[in-house]
Chain A
């Protein structure tokens, strides 16, 4: 069964606005990762946050992790049309397989 659950399932915003996606999970983790999938393509790793970290930045991406609430959020600032994609969170526990959520479909309208 899938551990990560993204929210919302779909999000539509105007170019230049910020996009926030949330992920909730059920069990203890070593790290949480976010991936992007453009239509018809494989997933691409965006950012990883370890269980002892609370916030991480990478360019226009900001990820937070609250292990007490078992949740994470991905913020994309100043969105662009090229950010249109599906975004997935995945949780890692030791060397067990990554478990993916169902994803958030982001549409950025120019």
Chain B
């Protein structure tokens, strides 16, 4: 299993540009989520999904869109990038049901918005 994969690893954007951060998992996990990590702020939840066709907002959703058309993929879209979105973005997945909720993380995408 590849686990959780993210592309690209690094990206530089100009203010106002749009882009999509890709996330895929091959563990058949129902639950997927996106976090951003800023220095001194820990991980903050952007959006999450409990299954194909279902998404919900997390703590910091403004400026980001998501969709979940398949179980495997959960792309994060920045419609009009702003310098405040400079951050490291992590995608994660886990099983939805059951008592064990270990979350698996991708390697991250480091985004810089100029």
Contacts and interface: CB of A to CB of B under 8 A. Distances in A.
B99 A50 contact: yes
A27 interface: no
Interface in A30-49: 30-31, 33, 35, 40-45, 48
A100 B43 contact: yes
A85 to B, nearest CB: 13
B101 A43 contact: no
Q: Which of A31, A40, A97, A99 has the most chain B CB atoms closer than 10 A to its own CB? A: A97
A95 B108 contact: no
Contact of A43 (B50, B96, B105): B105
A62 interface: no
Contacts, number: 57
Contact of A41 (B59, B96, B103, B107): B107
B107 A31 contact: no
Interface string A1-33: 110000000000000000000000000001101
B42 A88 contact: yes
A100 B33 CA distance: 13
Contacts of A40: 108
A1 B97 CA distance: 24
Contacts of B103: 33, 35, 43, 45, 90, 98
The list of the 3 closest CB pairs from A to B, nearest first, reads A42-B105, A102-B42, A100-B43
Interface of A: 1-2, 30-31, 33, 35, 40-45, 48, 50, 88, 90, 92, 95, 97-103
Interface of B: 4, 31, 33, 35, 40-45, 48, 50, 58-59, 90, 92, 96-97, 99-108
Given A40-B108, A100-B43, 6 more contacts: A2-B42, A33-B101, A33-B102, A42-B4, A98-B103, A102-B42
